[in-house]
Structure 1
Amino acid sequence: MSFSVCGESFSAPMHICGFFDSREQQYEVIIPYILEGLETNDKVINILEGNRHGEHCRCLADNGISIAQKLASGQLEVLASENTYIKDGEFAAEKMYKTLEQTLLSASRSGYDSVRACGDMIWALKNLPGTDELLEYEAKLNLLTPQHAVSLICMYDVSSFSPSTLTDILLTHPYVIKDGKISKNPHYVEPLEFISNLSNYRSDKLKS
């Protein structure tokens, strides 16, 4: 299952962290990615804060996407962070993992070639209960994605997250988008190794 991002072609599955310094830069990358998926037979899922949905849908419509039709058919889903990542006011990593897994299985059963998902991770700055499970969740996605035809872009605003958090996030994504370009991530750590070392890693951070 091939897809394009940042003007380059790749094959799913892929788990990508997108580092963006503005909303404009974010949309320059994800609009072509979303458009391509909707023009083919991919299921497209966007997760972002509920208060951004109007602006997001207008942006998609301005780029020629027939929003109502795509939403009605179920090919496009625009979901709220507060109903997914932080449902009931907390981040439950295991629950979110299972939700995503069920979504991927359902898309496959519905006859979609693959799934493209973009998730805005700004919710993680609210420090809600469970947010400390984010790194483990990101690492575990690398066990899930190889089993499915899926490309995931986790979108991080570099002006909002601390440099140390962004450094940590890098460890859990095989590919990274930075300055509008995508590359293989040399800092990536395999998921089982990362998870087994997570407690040591956290205690080292506390000491430093």
Structure 2
Amino acid sequence: MELNGFVAAITGGGSGIGAATARRLALAGAKVGILDLNPGAGHFIKCDVSDGGSLDAAMSELAGAYGGIDFLINSAGISSVGTVEDNDDAEWARVLDVNVTGIARASRAALPYLRRSRSPVIVNLSSIAANAGLVQRALYSASKGAVHALTLSMAADLVGEGIRVCCVAPGTVDTPWVGRLLARTEDPRVRRRGSPRGNPRDAW
């Protein structure tokens, strides 16, 4: 993969899948901007996906530093544990605001720059939770199902402008968030060995 000359903006790029994506793109030659609340490797810009003004400023700073933006990877996200009875309205609003509306905000902020690119792409991070029916993940699963639907609609709206929009839906990944969940189980070592290959309904 040769990405010399391309510029990528990655929300949530300070850790986990976002950080791994940033490293891979940089290895391929892309200039990468890490948009996160917590520092990551590379060009770090402090940014909050729940704040439209913060995203506008971050995209402007990144485009100014590197001459534009070609790729937007919407990796920022948070989780929530529980059944549909366990989370109150405030928790629903918090998770949906980051996981779904955050993608809309980041995309809206990046689009003026993506429209100037010769090969613009938006990649939204969803999850196997959108389709697998995981236990104790009602709110998180709902947010990731919404990411699927949002991706399809964005793709339909933007294809005429030559902007590709796609979505990836990872299964269990060894990230700091999964590590924190494992630490709360009775035997984290057994759970770590079993979760990737077990029933998808038991995945993290």
TM class by smaller structure: 0.3 to 0.5
Q: Which structure ranks higher in relative contact order (CA pairs < 8 Å, sequence separation ≥ 6)? A: 1
Task: Choose between structure 1 and 2: higher strand proportion.
Answer: 1
What TM-score results when the alignment is normalised by the length of structure 2? 0.42
